[in-house]
């Protein structure tokens, strides 16, 4: 599985690191992609170095797009036409789309949430206009998977692994990390 994870200044660091690390433990290829070149300053001030800049990736070569939250990061991403087009293309082609925390607002900005079942951070639920928020910690709607916040990041990552590779792989990873499956 090849995973594209865009990040920007203000993206939520726990959601980036927990999800990317869990995927890499599953032997998935994860590209943490900065909208620009260089280090980002995440939502709590942690500096992260993306693997590559957006200008240097070919989004079509990825199987899954994962959007971390963090209000400022998501707002920056909603202004990036390349990323919005990538979201639309992934949805149109039936590829995996996932978003956590405020991340579903990027999916909404791309116009792909109408009629879909999603969750998001309770603090941004009022911003959803194309659909309504479910209270579940993780919501699976076909190849669209959403989650609520940093505190649900392990569940989110494991739900994606479970959806793609099945219970056994997800349960093995959860056990090795001492996380509830």
> What is d(CA 148, CA 101) in angstroms, rounded to the nearest whole number?
5
> What is d(CA 181, CA 178) in angstroms, rounded to the nearest whole number?
9
> What is d(CA 69, CA 10) in angstroms, rounded to the nearest whole number?
9
* Local structure of 110: helix, strand or coil: coil
Active site includes 101? yes
Residue among 66, 101, 139, 157 flagged as catalytic: 101
Give ∠ CA 173-98-48 in degrees, rounded to 5: 75
Q: Which residues are catalytic?
A: 101
């Amino acid at each position: 599985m090849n995973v594209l994870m865009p990040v920007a200044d203000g993206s939520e660091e726990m959601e980036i690191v927990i999800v990317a690390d869990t995927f890499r433990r599953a032997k998935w290829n994860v590209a943490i992609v900065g909208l620009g070149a260089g280090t980002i300053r995440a939502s709590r001030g942690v500096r992260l170095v993306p693997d590559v800049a957006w200008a240097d990736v070919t989004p079509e070569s990825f199987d899954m797009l994962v959007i971390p939250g963090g209000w400022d990061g998501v707002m920056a991403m909603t202004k990036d036409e390349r990323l919005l087009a990538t979201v639309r293309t992934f949805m149109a082609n039936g590829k995996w789309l996932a978003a956590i925390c405020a991340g579903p607002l990027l999916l909404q900005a791309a116009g792909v949430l109408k009629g879909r079942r999603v969750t998001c951070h309770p603090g941004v639920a009022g911003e959803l206009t194309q659909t309504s928020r479910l209270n579940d910690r993780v919501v699976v709607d076909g190849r669209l998977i959403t989650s609520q916040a940093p505190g649900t990041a392990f569940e989110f990552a494991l739900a994606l692994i479970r959806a793609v590779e099945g219970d056994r792989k997800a349960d093995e990873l959860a056990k090795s990390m001492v996380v509830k499956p």
